Structure 1
Amino acid sequence: SKMTVGQWLDIWLETYLSNVRPYTVLNYTQHINNHIKPTFGKVKLDKLNTHMIQQFYNDLGTAHENKPGLSPKTIKCIHGIFHKALQQAIEIGYLRSNPTTACKLPKVERKEVKSLDNEAIQSFIKAIRGHRFEVIFLVTLCTGLRRGEVCGLTWDSIDLERGTIHVNKQLQQVPGQSGNFRLTPTKNGKSRTITVASFVVDALRQHKVRQTEARLKAGPNWQDEGFVFTDEVGHRLSPNTVYHNYKRIVASIGLPKARLHDLRHTFATVSLHAGDDIKTVQENLGHATAAFTLATYAHVTEEMKQDSANRMDQFIKGVFGA
């Protein structure tokens, strides 16, 4: 084919991704425009080869002057997009083979999962008491919602009578537009319903009363967007604002390196230690598979296996009087 890579990628984005979520298409477009097109945009599609693509991936991971290289995870994502686009070109006869298939990708290291221990949880709950974001932090800690999911919660997703939260969307930054957020589907595109502890329901009830008072105080200035967590005039909270407030709080209790996402890991860890089965934890967290949940929290399950062995040891000793 005399078609260039850039021309084919434009056709692919416009024609062959109709069944893909809009946010995913935006993500694909950003990676194509920022990385693939600048290097291969003018190259003829049938002149692509594995060697040049491998050099491209290697270069993406290399630091240039003051600019660090891309992470292995990002390179893997770019490779996935490129591979998928070229695979489509094969299916319609523009290419005979996919030159990305034989490329070697940098190993993606699984980051160590960190969660708050019991002492840190107690200190954190004490520190947020009375803070204007107390309830949003409490909900995050006790449900494992992602930052975008908790910031995107609307009252029509919460059933205070049944004590459930229906998670079907998230507040995400528009790619390439810093500070501009919009509601999109959840990370895996699926909704889930979480049953929450009664004290979380009570906290949400009280929060709704305070929000009603704020609405009356704001009068015509109130922006009724339906969000659970808002500023003084009803506008949704920026996930960045929530994050920065969290960082100040954890720094004040001696945990400056704690991330907001650690609250999600804490929920999962506490759930597993409390005896929740892995399928329940997976569904509450919104993971695609239980295998992913098991892999992510392998250290917790290993601890639980050891605890189980210790209990069995004590039982046997009790039975045999050892």
Structure 2
Amino acid sequence: MGRKAASGAGTIRKKTVTRSGKEYTYWEARFTVGRDPGTGKQIQRSITGKTQKEVAQRLKAATLAVDQGTYITPTKMTVGAWLDTWAAEYLGGVKPATVQVYKNNVRLHIKPALGAVGLSELRPHMVQRFINGLELSPASVRLAYKVLHQALEKAVKLDYIPRNPASDCQLPRMERKEILPLDDEQAAALLLAVKGGRLELLVSVALFTGCRLSELLGLTWDCVDFQKGTILISKQLVRPEHRAESGLFISPKNGKPRTITPAPSVLKTLKEQRRRQAETRIKAGPLWDNPHGLTFTDQIGRPLLQQTVEGWFSAAVKAAGLEGVRFHDLRHTYAVNAIRAGDDIKTIQGNLGHASAGFTLDRYGHFTERMKQDSAARMEGFIKAVFSS
């Protein structure tokens, strides 16, 4: 039995098949999506379902999409197969360490839960169920979601699926960790602890420029212009486990180089570093190996390992009588002190290499408000002192 669809663009039929001696009944709609450019013959697609009403609704949506030019032929690819393709072929512009994080999320979390689902059959409620079932920290859940969302967004752009089923998911609330910059007394204690040691100049430059550790370890002398008083931050040092894929250097975190104009004392510190490095090179003799002209190296000119520096820094923090201070906190300390010094957010954003001033304001804006309150309190004290005299 059959009838024409209301729009005349397709037909719906009731069908019965026998499998293993048992009859199964279902409804099937067939519709035309265009013509084969080679043969000129019609290209037809089918939709099946348990009820006539269900199939009719899906047929109506499909034929409307054909008329509007938005119809996409459902793919037989699974979510797992697409994730494998995406991870292998579409992450070329992503930093090696990030690629590894993405692949780990695909392997450990996404594929076990959604890998067998057809890519065209994945629905928002299925993604939400996946998100809700992850027994991870809010930050880790958000990361897994980000990976899935990006992979599906690429599938949309390639016309494998019409829309991203991961859009508009409800994600766990993530409490942002409080930024704990060093106060003046703590900064002085740290500088005293590293004075005369292997970290002295590196910590000083980090504290007064806000550069990331990987950026300082990747800094080369050709990027330091003593005449102009500028430093070009154009690259960062790659961790050893990722150098086979990307080499010794990669671009800074946001992908853009930046030129900073530090305080004169920072340039003085770098001149001292250049002097000390020259002495070290003489001592090393033929063992010296610094072909890239790195500013901070080990005793024979090789790149410093980030893990090694962080270990030295932890020891220095302990010696200074401080607790829980990370090397990255020097960056926060610089940002807060720049605000205290009166620098505008746009300038601080440029020096830190943030993608936008909005991010910088969101990250450090509360310190600005706090300083305004302190200023008002000082003014109130001054007013009271004047009127009571």
C-alpha contact (below 8 Å) 2:239/2:305 kept by paired residues: no
Q: Which amino acid counterpart does residue 266 of structure 1 have in structure 2?
A: T
Partner of 2:249: helix, strand, or coil?
A: strand
Residue 263 of structure 1 and its aligned partner are, at CA, apart by 0.7
Residue in 2 that maps onto 1:82: 148
1:1-322 aligned at under 5 Å gives the runs 1-16=75-90, 20-23=93-96, 25=99, 27-60=101-134, 62=135, 69=136, 71-173=137-239, 182-224=248-290, 225-310=292-377, 313=380
* Fraction of identical pairs, as percent: 46
Structure 1 stretch 306-315 or stretch 114-123: which is displaced more?
306-315
Instruction: Report Cα offsets for 1:192-242 as digits up to 9, x if no partner.
Output: 111122222122112111211211221221112321111111001111111
Matches of 2:242 and 2:251, distance apart in 1 = 19
C-alpha contact (below 8 Å) 2:206/2:212 kept by paired residues: yes
Matches of 1:321 and 1:9, distance apart in 2 = 73
Partner of 2:173: helix, strand, or coil?
A: coil
Residue 14 of structure 1 and its aligned partner are, at CA, apart by 4.9
Cα distance 1:107–1:121, how it changes in 2: closer, same or farther (>3 A)?
same
Select the structure that is richer in strand: 2
Partner of 1:100: helix, strand, or coil?
A: coil
- What TM-score do the two structures reach when normalised by structure 2? 0.72
Structure 2's unaligned 5+ residue stretches are 1-74
Residue 312 of structure 1 and its aligned partner are, at CA, apart by 5.3
The structure with the largest alpha-carbon Rg is 2
Matches of 2:308 and 2:360, distance apart in 1 = 29
Residue 134 of structure 1 and its aligned partner are, at CA, apart by 0.7
Cα distance 1:215–1:107, how it changes in 2: closer, same or farther (>3 A)?
same
- What TM-score do the two structures reach when normalised by structure 1? 0.86
Residue 181 of structure 1 and its aligned partner are, at CA, apart by 8.5
Structure 1 stretch 164-173 or stretch 132-141: which is displaced more?
164-173
How many residues end up aligned between the 2 structures?
A: 311
Q: Which amino acid counterpart does residue 221 of structure 2 have in structure 1?
A: W
Cα distance 1:174–1:50, how it changes in 2: closer, same or farther (>3 A)?
farther
Partner of 1:297: helix, strand, or coil?
A: helix
